[in-house]
Amino acid sequence: MTEEETLALLDDIGTAFARHDIAAMVGYFAADGVFVNAIGPDPFGTRYEGHQQIRGYFENLFATTKEVQWEKQDVRVVGDKAYTEWHRRATLNSGEKQDWLGVDIYTFGEGEILKKDTYIKVVG
């Protein structure tokens, strides 16, 4: 993919996240794609492999969160990788507010996400 194609794909992915469109979000991943969440019991966080596990993660996220939005800060593309900086704000169903800065490192292959690795800074 060219840099322009990757940037356009990232815009489409961001739009799906903003809509909370789980089917679209999952559809951008390869069938055996991986999402590595920053939070979890292992040093790398928690790893979700394949559409079913990735879908399950996002279904749970949206079921337990009243509102969540990611505001894009910066995007860089280098070869088959893209780096996106963002500011995430959320309110959980419990009323707890979350305010995080983060970076996603995407690895793409043939127009699909092979891996999305998330890193965060928890603010507050």
pLDDT at residue 1, as a whole number: 87
Model pTM score: 0.91
Q: How would CATH label the architecture of 3-122?
A: Roll (3.10)
Residue 95 has pLDDT above 80, yes or no: yes
The pair of structure tokens assigned to 124 is 């507050």
What mean pLDDT do residues 73-81 have? Answer: 96
DSSP string, the chain: --HHHHHHHHHHHHHHHHHT-HHHHHHTEEEEEEEEEEEEEETTEEEEEHHHHHHHHHHHHHHSEEEEEEEEEEEEEETTEEEEEEEEEEEETTS-EEEEEEEEEEEEETTEEEEEEEEEEE--
pLDDT digits (tens, 9 = 90+) for 14-27: 999 999 999 999 99
In the chain, where the domains are located: 3-122
